[in-house]
Amino acid sequence: MNQETEISQIGEFGLIDRITEKLPKFNDSTVVGVGDDSAVLHYAADVDELLTTDMLLEGVHFDLTYMPLKHLGYKSAVVNFSDIYSMNGTPRQITVGLGVSKRFTVEHIEALYAGIRMACENYGVDIVGGDTTSSRSGLVISITCLGDCPKGEAVMRNGAKDTDLICVSGDLGSAYMGLQLLEREKIASAGRKDFTPDFSGKEYLVERQLKPEARRDVVKALRDAGIKPTSMMDVSDGLSSELLHICKASNVGCRVYEDRIPIDYQTAIMAEELGMNLVTAAMNGGEDYELVFTVPLHCHEKIQNVPGVKIIGHITKSELGCAMITRDGAEITIKAQGFNHMAAE
């Protein structure tokens, strides 16, 4: 068994050197990355710059009982890339801030950073800086991502118009079901040293929770088809929440149809096993990192030819409110029931 190294043995700067050694550069806009007091970036005059940041706290956003550190690093980066793609942009650079408690070794942080680097290599993003500090409350990860899009091409959440079509990519609820599966196996393993979790037949759900991917392919497909969404968000807190955000920002209402919500077979099987309402899970689960967006009605034929995208409803006038049409034709008001970071405990 290899001897693990306490961070105190090499210090903060030694740790930084270890995890940032020989970082590749993918973007011409990165002039100077890691190694100076700040990064130097250069963007052309014909692009709009995009900036997003996300913080993940141990015990709130992730559980290291079943979340491998390499997967955590990958996911931490990808969720930021997803925010840039949901603006119709391309991620270019990230900075990484870490708060680390004494129970973590150098090898732990190297595993975390290996996941971050893998994500950056897969998506062509440069790591250009960051910070590390001690933490008294477990592991804290804060990533800021910079990106860009052609000038005037950014898609906000406030552009949806009456009669626009509502579309989503991929399927919904699978990441949430993956979380339920992981939590179930965690409970089953309590106090058992010889326990082996059973994920057979549900590997897709586990992957959706532990290693999500940002939908750059959808953004590219829309561009190739000549479609610019009127509004767009990624599904991080649940479809219900994202739809309400779009409708509030755009001052519109919406109608989505229960029988059009895309749901994977494994998600349906898992919901049945757990006795959970499948549509509720799909509408409110979150962490799918799919894209929900609106397009003008005249794009109906074009959008049907975009792979992996499904039309699930349409935008209405604001006075009609936001509702889901059930399979039997009833209207149910859409409420935000996804994860609330500031909810009372």
What tokens were used for 181?
Answer: 């599966």
Which range among 6-10, 52-56, 234-238, 240-244 shows the weakest confidence by mean pLDDT? 6-10
Whether residues 120 and 219 fall in one domain: no
Determine, yes or no, domain membership for 338: no
pLDDT value for 32: 53
Residue 12 has pLDDT above 60, yes or no: no
Name residues whose C-beta falls within 8 Å of residue 231's C-beta, 6 or more positions apart in sequence: 155, 156, 157, 158, 159, 160, 164, 246, 249, 250, 293, 294
Cα dihedral sign for 280, 282, 288, 289?
negative
Q: Any idea of the CA torsion for 65, 288, 267, 273, to the nearest 10 degrees?
A: 40
Determine, yes or no, domain membership for 52: yes
Whether residues 69 and 146 fall in one domain: yes
Domain boundary among 97, 125, 150: 150
Alpha helices (H) along 143-276: 174-189, 203-210, 216-224, 239-250, 265-274
Residue 262 has pLDDT above 60, yes or no: yes
pLDDT value for 39: 52
Determine, yes or no, domain membership for 158: no
Domain boundary among 120, 150, 180: 150
Whether residues 180 and 324 fall in one domain: yes
pLDDT value for 284: 94
Whether residues 33 and 68 fall in one domain: yes
Whether residues 141 and 284 fall in one domain: no
Determine, yes or no, domain membership for 192: yes
User: Under a CB-based contact definition with an 8 Å cutoff, are residues 230 and 158 in contact?
Assistant: no
Residue 37 has pLDDT above 50, yes or no: no
CATH number of the CATH domain containing 272: 3.90.650.10
For residue range 136-181, what is the model confidence (pLDDT) as tens digits? 889 999 999 999 989 889 999 999 999 999 999 999 999 999 999 9
pLDDT value for 25: 75
Residue 194 has pLDDT above 80, yes or no: no
Mean of pLDDT over the chain: 89
User: Under a CB-based contact definition with an 8 Å cutoff, are residues 137 and 40 in contact?
Assistant: no
- Residues 26-31 have a mean pLDDT of 72
Determine, yes or no, domain membership for 340: no
Determine, yes or no, domain membership for 344: no
pLDDT value for 345: 45
- Residues 112-133 have a mean pLDDT of 94
Nearest to 131 by CA among 31, 28, 19, 26: 19
What tokens were used for 167?
Answer: 């579309």
Query: CA geometry: angle at 186 spanning 184 and 187, to 5°?
Result: 70
Name residues whose C-beta falls within 8 Å of residue 72's C-beta, 6 or more positions apart in sequence: 56, 62, 64, 112, 115, 141
Whether residues 195 and 278 fall in one domain: yes
Whether residues 146 and 179 fall in one domain: no
Residue 219 has pLDDT above 80, yes or no: yes
What whole-number distance in Å separates Cα of residue 328 and Cα of residue 247?
25
- Residues 266-275 have a mean pLDDT of 95
Whether residues 103 and 143 fall in one domain: yes
Query: Using the 8-state DSSP alphabet, how is residue 323 labeled?
Result: E
Determine, yes or no, domain membership for 286: yes
Residue 255 has pLDDT above 50, yes or no: yes
Whether residues 197 and 326 fall in one domain: yes
**Domain that residue 95 falls in:** 7-150
Q: Please give the helix or strand (H or E) that residue 339 lies within, else none.
A: none
Whether residues 287 and 183 fall in one domain: yes
User: Under a CB-based contact definition with an 8 Å cutoff, are residues 228 and 222 in contact?
Assistant: yes
pLDDT value for 336: 79
Whether residues 142 and 241 fall in one domain: no
Number of domains, the chain? 2
Nearest to 141 by CA among 156, 149, 151, 130: 130
Whether residues 101 and 72 fall in one domain: yes
What whole-number distance in Å separates Cα of residue 67 and Cα of residue 72?
6
Domain boundary among 122, 150, 178: 150
